[in-house]
Amino acid sequence: MTARTTRAGSRLAPYLFVLPALVLFAAFRLYPIGWSFVLSLFHTEGMEQSWTGLGNYQRLVHDPLFWKALGNTLEILVIQVPVMLAIALGLAVALNSALLRWKPLFRLGFFLPVVTGLVTYGLLMGALLNPDSGAVNWLLHVLGLPEVHWLTDPFWAKVSVMLALTWHYTGYNAVIYLARLQGIPDEHYEAAAVDGAGAWRRFWHITLPGLRPALLLTVVLSTIGTLQLFDEPFIMTGGGPDNATTTIGVYLYQTGFRYFDFGYASAIGYAMVLIISVFGLIQTRLAKEED
Amino acid sequence: MGEPSRRGFLKGLGAAALAAGGAGTLSACGGSSSTGGAVTGGTGEPSGSITVWSWKNPAAELRALIPAFNAVHPKVKVTVQDIGNPAIWDKITIGMEAGGQGLGDLLHIGVDYLPNYIEKFPNGLADLSKLGAGQYSNAFAPGLWQTVSRGEKVYALPWEANAGSFFYRDDLFRKAGVDPATLATWDDVIAAGKKVKDATGTALVAIDKSASAADSANLFQLLMQLQGVFYFNTDGKITLNSPEAVRALTLVKELNDAGLVVDVQGSPGTSTYDAAVKAGKVAVCPDPAWYGGYMETFATDSSGDWRVMLPPAVTAGGSRSAIVNSTHLAVAGTSQNQRAAFAFAEFALTRPESQVQIFKDKGIFPALLKAYDDPVFHQPDPFFGGQKYAEVFIAELSNPSTPTNYTADYPRALKLIDDAQTKVLLQGADPAAVLKDAAGQLAQQTHRAQA
């Protein structure tokens, strides 16, 4: 064997190693992504397909339910995500505090909801928010407050979904912040303390800047996650009442798997991709400009 | 009928459907294979292994039939799977969309899905006329053969025929001094309901006001069918805002405005609805026939208090009969053992002994006319205070009721009706206005004309 072929062989080796992953990626990711774009150009119902070009996208623009779903999704994005991230930030700082004892216990407690299975989660939320026998209404009753129709009133259904999301994902974000917090050198705090900076100023000038990459990460991840939101509204309210909690994800599911209109569902999917890309771009741009 | 067993399945489905641009993920692998033409499974004595997809009670009943079936057809190995309802609809849909991959051989399908599968997946279900199903065209309650066939082709055999019913608490009506026999129309029902509520504090019916279950508008649908209309007419035109529909939704609104409706999250067969019935929160269950047999299994405390009668008419002298839904067994077009699968369906559905057994165990009401000759359908039932309750349904099913054209767009219509009813019940919207709106949206979504 000459030196030349050996080199060629060794150059090929990494490609051979990634080949299985690439093949799987192409088969289960690229192909469906490409095929669903093709589908979005057809009017497909069941096995019948007819070319419609951009017809599905035109239909989307004139579809009141799509706009309603988009509005619902954005409402959750604008209200729930900032609240959740603020709580996560507070939790992370508290959990990182030298004053707190039994830290692992608290960390476990806040992270548990993240790993809770969907079935348990749905049952739990349903049981807690049940208007007749739920613990939340019982608590309201004990406090002398009127009972709330959590899942059956359009306004409160939206609130319920946001509460569930917050319960589910706050711990996840807190853990990301916590990891980052532990990377901020103690000397910075010590130096600031020596200079006479109070707790609030230390948080504002050391903790927050130190957390920037983690903040950006969680904002982008939460934005993508919220725009794709499906599980919570689907399980808790089925998108109701009267579409108050229908998100784009839920609408996509209904269109594809209830109405068998896969072409239109694909168009909804691509609209979702477009919206997510735009949001992602804006957020990374904003983050860069501040640098 | 429903049970919340879809969640585990959805965990996977949700992830797949939500993968970026993944709308077509699950449909990507299929759409072209076609095996609808020839009958599979050889000739002569049926043999091979078949898998049957059903849910809960019906699945248990099919499983119980296997030994008797094997005594006749020893070479067929039958496996019955409880897929769960409504999970089964998603599973069948995905299988169909994947060109029939991974489907069971024999599928239990409700009337709300069957037309959709027949029309949108032309080869998804085997043509049973090639297996000799034609001989049963007059064996079932009138109207059902039209539901399962298209011209010469037969896509399924009818199993359950659910007549619309009026299960009521005799004790509460008596306490209020109302004789149910005098309830001829739904206006009478509302008047009586007020008396029952005053005397006993019990509301009349339970409705899922926020429509968390897809079949939340059951009562509305029954009230429409009693007037001989449905969401579509026989030409497939939209009749959602017909005067009959407005009348039906107005009645539902009047019930609600009179405080006679209990809000439950779920429809008959879900834990919340059943719990309200069990706890005695309602005096009437205007539900499909199957619910009677089902009630006996859980509402044991109120055993003896229940009676059943035909649903009152909407207009004086109007019809009191309606087949509100039905379920069927269909053979998958891709099944490798269509003959064996059909043989099992035939054994379960066309043989009176099988249907009698199933009715005895779980009260699932058969469409098979011959089964009604059995004494079990003519026995006094202690749960219904000694009433021969099945005879009420036999009389109803033997009447020709108006054929209902579900069409492939039924799921869309159902969703729009759910939302319309929610607007009426939760926000006090005007029935005529929301129905006009719903009909317009349905026309826009489906390109169907309005009647």
The vertex-A275 CA angle with A269 and A279, nearest 5°, equals 145
Please give the pLDDT value at position B396. 86
Q: With an 8 Å Cβ cutoff, are A259 and B418 in contact?
A: no
Alpha-carbon distance B208 to nearest alpha carbon in chain A (angstroms): 9
Domains of chain A with bracketed CATH: 68-289 (1.10.3720.10)
Kindly report, residue by residue over B270-283, the tens digit of the pLDDT.
888 999 999 999 99
**Mean pLDDT in chain B?**
87
Contact of B96 with chain A, judged by CB distance below 8 Å, is answered with yes
Please give the pLDDT value at position B99. 87
Please give the pLDDT value at position A151. 84
Q: Does residue B12 surpass a pLDDT of 50?
A: no
Full DSSP string of B205-235: EEE-TT--STTTTHHHHHHHHHTT--SB-TT
Q: How far is CA B6 from the centre of its chain?
A: 18
Query: Chain B residues with CB inside 8 Å of A227's CB?
Result: none
The residue ranges of DSSP E strands in B197-352, in sequence order, are: 205-207, 261-263, 284-285, 306-309, 323-331
Please give the pLDDT value at position B24. 35
Alpha-carbon distance A109 to nearest alpha carbon in chain B (angstroms): 23
**Mean pLDDT in chain A?**
87
Give the pTM.
Answer: 0.80
- Pairing state of beta strands B205-207 and B323-331? unpaired
The residue ranges of DSSP E strands in A37-192, in sequence order, are: 42-45, 48-51
Please give the pLDDT value at position B157. 97
Kindly report, residue by residue over A158-206, the tens digit of the pLDDT.
999 999 999 999 999 999 999 898 888 888 888 888 888 888 888 888 8
List the 184-213 stretch of B: residues with Cβ below 8 A of A. Answer: 209-213
Residue B208, number of CB atoms within 10 A of its CB = 28
Kindly report, residue by residue over B35-70, the tens digit of the pLDDT.
445 788 777 789 999 999 999 889 999 999 999 999
Q: With an 8 Å Cβ cutoff, are A270 and B412 in contact?
A: no
The vertex-B208 CA angle with B205 and B210, nearest 5°, equals 140
Please give the pLDDT value at position A5. 56
Residue B303, number of CB atoms within 10 A of its CB = 14
More confident residue, B140 or A131: B140
Q: Does residue B138 surpass a pLDDT of 70?
A: yes
Provide the token pair at B343. 């043989």
B3 sits in the region (left: phi over 0; alpha: psi -120 to 50; else beta) called beta
Contact A84, A170 (CB under 8 A): yes
Contact of B428 with chain A, judged by CB distance below 8 Å, is answered with no
Q: What's the whole-number mean pLDDT along residues B337-364? A: 94
B167 strand-pairing partners: B285, B308
Nearest to B383 by CA among B397, B403, B363: B363
Q: Does residue A89 surpass a pLDDT of 90?
A: yes
Rounded to whole angstroms, how far apart are CA atoms B249 and B270?
Answer: 23
Rounded to whole angstroms, how far apart are CA atoms A30 and B19?
Answer: 11
Query: Chain A residues with CB inside 8 Å of B438's CB?
Result: none
Residue to substitute from A35, A151, A272, interface B, most B β-carbons within 10 A: A35
Please give the pLDDT value at position B13. 36
Please give the pLDDT value at position A8. 64
With cut-offs at 50, 70 and 90, classify the pLDDT of residue B34: very low
Contact of A23 with chain B, judged by CB distance below 8 Å, is answered with no
What is the number of alpha carbons within 13 Å of residue B144 lying toward its C-beta? 31
Kindly report, residue by residue over A55-82, the tens digit of the pLDDT.
899 989 988 899 999 999 999 999 999 9
Kindly report, residue by residue over B296-344, the tens digit of the pLDDT.
989 999 999 999 999 999 999 998 988 888 999 999 999 999 999 999 9
Q: Using N-to-C axis directions, what is the helix angle for A118-129 and B7-18, rounded to 10°?
A: 110
